[in-house]
Structure 1
Amino acid sequence: MPLAEPNPALSISYARRSLNRAERAFRCSPFRLALLGDLRSQSISIRQLCAPAGIKSGYSRRPLAELQAENEMMWLIAVGLLRREVDGQGLTDSFRLTPMGRQVFEQLSGLTPAQYRPTLGDHLYNAWCRWMRSPSWWHG
């Protein structure tokens, strides 16, 4: 149970383009909607997403190596869906849902499987966005 109930009147307003990009990124990822659902109330570590554990828990569609899962999660961080969890020692290997991620989950949870399935165009556009993004050191 969350510590505080979300208040829709206080929700952050995101640009439609940002929400669409984040939604597309998740739909094109190897993860299932159950991952976002569980991330609403708890943090999930990278080990819970890998190989048999990810499939067994219903978080991934196929077995993922740790590096694959990490790369996919980093893309979901880049588009604003997730954030790394921090403890007293610094960053951990766990992830949490952002406010934008909560909004995307609400949008996606209302879709049928046919509506949720990404098109070839979605996959191509998502791959292009991942490939064309500026490196973190680039400020130009």
Structure 2
Amino acid sequence: MPTVNSQNPKTFSYTRSTVERAERSLVCSPFNIALFAAMRHQSVPLGAIALENGVMHGYTKRPLSELACDNALGWLIQVGVLRREVDGQGITDSFRLTPLGHQLLEQYQGKNWPTPSWRDRLYNAVIYWFRLPF
């Protein structure tokens, strides 16, 4: 199983299927690697990702509505790549990488996402719509 060393001394192990599902979700997402590179160092608010702001910052491939953006980010939360930022008042509209997200981003350091195959897109869509656990 792949392991992740985060900044604290805990080591996280993930099954191959978990890593593959998360990687497929990233590659099929409407987001560019620049978004996740920014999330490595700080949380990124939804307003910076949605609409024209996302394209201007290089975070998205095309303008996304706030709803579409939130749904896509929510899917990445479900597969374990992202988490919502929390402050003293509760959950915010900002997002950060999880240890799994950090691991996947390290694999693509200085590269672009690979182009997903039609099979990857279909598989990701089926799992997304039916929320299947594999």
For residues 38 and 11 of structure 1, the distance between their equivalents in structure 2, rounded to whole angstroms, comes to 23
* Percentage of pairs with the same residue: 47
Structure-to-structure mapping, 1:1-140, within 5 angstroms: 6=6, 10-109=10-109, 113=112, 116-133=114-131
Deviating above 2 A after TM superposition, structure 1's stretches of 4 or more consecutive aligned residues are 5-11, 108-111
SS in 2 for 1:116: coil
Runs (5+) with no aligned partner, structure 2: none
Q: Is the 8 A contact 2:6 2:99 kept in 1?
A: no
Query: Aligned-pair distance for 1:10?
Result: 4.9
Amino acid at match of 1:76: L
Runs (5+) with no aligned partner, structure 1: 135-140
Cα RMSD between the aligned structures? 2.0
Segment drifting more, 84-93 vs 115-124:
115-124
Measured against aligned partners, the alpha-carbon deviations of 1:64-114 in whole angstroms (never above 9, x if no partner) come to: 000000000000000000000000000000001000000111123365x5x
Q: 1:73 to 1:37 in 2, by over 3 A?
A: same
1:138 corresponds in structure 2 to: none
Amino acid at match of 1:116: P
Amino acid at match of 1:16: R
Amino acid at match of 1:58: G
Q: Is the 8 A contact 2:80 2:101 kept in 1?
A: yes
Taking structure 2 as the reference length, the TM-score comes to 0.88
For residues 37 and 133 of structure 1, the distance between their equivalents in structure 2, rounded to whole angstroms, comes to 27
Larger Rg: 1
